[in-house]
Amino acid sequence: MNTLRALVMSLGLLMTTQSLAFAPAADDPICLLKSCAVTLLQCGIDEECRNWLGCVRSCGDDKIKCPSTCGFFYQSDRINKTSQCVFDSRCVDLGFGSLPNYEHDNRPMVPLQKLSGTYWFAASHGGTHIFDYDCQRFDFTNADQTGGPVQVTFSVPLTLNGSTRLTGAHGTFTPLNSGAVEVAYENFSGYHERWYLLDQTPDTLLAHVCIDAGSICYDYGTVLLSKRSLSEVNPDALQQIDRLTRAHDGIGISAFKTSRVEGCVH
């Protein structure tokens, strides 16, 4: 695809009312055109960014899970710059408003302790927005015993349009003065999560997660990371998790949706 065609295609994506698969905050995309026209046109020149634009545009009414999949599958510096402009412009509805607001109810949290090694996304409780694909891997690096920032490399194999990629992101878990933990990934400019740690053992991490939007944190659900499959987790640790999830979610761990851990290699 030559440069002129790429520019025309990108401008066409911009001017479509379903651009980026997000409904514009206004009745037309003029706000986004004023804020991000150049950025989007540059995105159209970059093949990876152009494919990302086409992917999120095809998401239709699915404003959270499908665009998240597109964001993991397609990655480039140009995509980061484009997504940052979209976040900063406040011209589009990113779909987070479909999630309930989360307000922490002063339930005791545990401080982030030394976290290192490989953990897997083992189970979750929440809506279909949970990024619940199998074989999600978190590699943590932290030699600080005092609970300082923890570096993480996230990876997951994804298949889209018949093609499979091992996708990932690099980020940081940073303890906040409130007791929560801010999670920010380098790949997703402008996007942050807040994790409220409910339990941490040498093999598991239980947390309630919300999407941080300043004064509002949108409820994402409760997640359980584990170094091994739940069938191999210490029974005492599972009983503790079950007790906490009953207190926090009103249900036990048996009601959580589990993700495949066995046989995951990457």
Domain spans, the chain = 3-97, 117-258
**Phi, psi torsion values for 146, nearest 5 degrees:** -90, 0
What was the pLDDT predicted at 50?
93
Task: Return the CATH number of 117-258, one of 3.40.50.1100, 2.40.128.20, 3.40.50.300, 3.40.50.2000.
Answer: 2.40.128.20
What does each of the 266 residues of the chain score in pLDDT, given as a tens digit? 434 344 444 444 444 433 343 433 433 468 878 888 899 889 989 999 999 989 988 887 777 778 888 888 998 999 988 888 887 887 776 666 667 777 787 778 898 888 889 999 999 988 766 667 889 999 998 756 566 789 999 999 999 889 999 998 899 999 998 889 999 988 776 678 899 999 999 899 999 998 887 777 888 889 999 999 888 998 999 999 999 999 888 889 999 999 988 888 88
What was the pLDDT predicted at 126?
84
